[in-house]
Amino acid sequence: GRITKIFITHFHGDHFFGLPGLLCTLSLQSSPDPNRPPVDIYGPLGLRSFLWRSLELSHSQLLFPYAVHELVPTHDQCPAGEFRDFSHWDRGELPPQGPGGRVLQLGPGESSYLLEEDEQLVLRAFRLFHRIPSFGFVLEEKPRPGRLNVQKLKDLGVGPGPLYGKLKSGAAVVLENGVRISPSDVLGDPIPGRKVCVLGDCSGALGDEAPRLCCGADLLVHEATLDDTQRDRARERGHSTPSTASDFARLCRAKRLVLTHFSQRYKAGAAQAGQGDVEVAEMRRQAESALEGQAVAVTLAEDFMTIDIPVKK
């Protein structure tokens, strides 16, 4: 019930068919609240129509509003024969009470989509190559102000009080004696925020924007559908292998790599149960081998896994 944002990477059924059911489950766990902000859902163009029609056909009424923000893909995100243009779907058909949201497309010279930005967080999406257009997402905290040098402030004749808060928030202050104090005079270096990057199904990212956006990621989630011995087959199907994921992790200097989306041939359930399935363990070994000499921790994803990313001090 605490979910406020949902990200859909692409339109293969195993990645988005469950969305209407998830929203209905969230609604069953909710209480009517006219002041509740909408659940923001981000995904490829066409998602708003799919979701609205699914809920209408099933006569499902949610106890909360939702907004669908659609990403307009580019033709080079998939093989030419697989691209579908959904830009004219349901144009003007959605009723006034239908879901709101924005349509986001790349402008001239742009290579990523700005989804949201506030004082604390920036959310962006970037393009991936797959059998159909796919996207990756970056959630990045903005740097926090450095530690306040209290002793220096006392030396300047400033005792604890409201001025401390103003300086900490980045505003300069002027003392009664006319002395002006800038935040940079009394604050330490900014404290970097955390960064989480999640890539949808892909055989690679388009252009140089993805490594730049993911640079220094505290957590990088990357698919590894097949092992390295199946590299050609993986590429043909628009997927990645452990070494493909490791190459991207090295390129963007990620601190932790989580491999996911394993083919059923690797019996991921056995590994999740702690039985140490050999084939799944091999996926980790291949990734670690490709990252030899790099300080990158490799983890195999499990259902319901929780990963803590400590706040930086």
Q: Encode pLDDT of 5-62 as tens digits.
A: 999 999 999 999 999 999 999 999 988 888 889 999 999 999 999 999 999 999 999 9
Catalytic residues: 14
Q: Encode pLDDT of 122-139 as tens digits.
A: 999 999 999 999 999 999
Lookup result for tokens 């808060």: 165
Question: Using an 8 Å Cβ cutoff, are 227 and 241 in contact?
Answer: yes
Lookup result for tokens 């609240």: 33
Half-sphere exposure of 114 (CA within 13 A, CB side): 7
Report the CATH fold assignment for 107-144+191-312. Metallo-beta-lactamase; Chain A (3.60.15)
Q: Encode pLDDT of 183-215 as tens digits.
A: 878 888 889 999 999 999 999 999 889 999 999
Question: Using an 8 Å Cβ cutoff, are 239 and 263 in contact?
Answer: no
Structural class in CATH, domain 1-105: alpha beta
Q: Would you state the pLDDT for residue 276?
A: 46
101-105: list long-range contacts, CB under 8 Å, 24+ apart. Answer: 101/40, 101/41, 101/48, 101/67, 101/68, 101/69, 101/70, 102/69, 102/70, 103/45, 103/69, 103/70, 103/72, 104/69, 104/70, 104/71, 104/72, 105/71, 105/72
Q: 66 burial class (0-12, 13-18, 19+ CB within 10 angstroms)?
A: buried
Checking if the pLDDT of 176 tops 80, the result is no
Q: Work out the mean pLDDT of the chain and round it to a whole number.
A: 90
Lowest mean pLDDT among 96-110, 200-214, 231-245: 96-110
Locate 237 and state its tokens.
């199907």
Mean pLDDT of 289-312: 93
Checking if the pLDDT of 67 tops 80, the result is yes
Q: Would you state the pLDDT for residue 270?
A: 47
As annotated, the residues of the chain forming the CATH 3.60.15.10 domain(s) are 1-105, 107-144+191-312
Lookup result for tokens 């967080």: 121
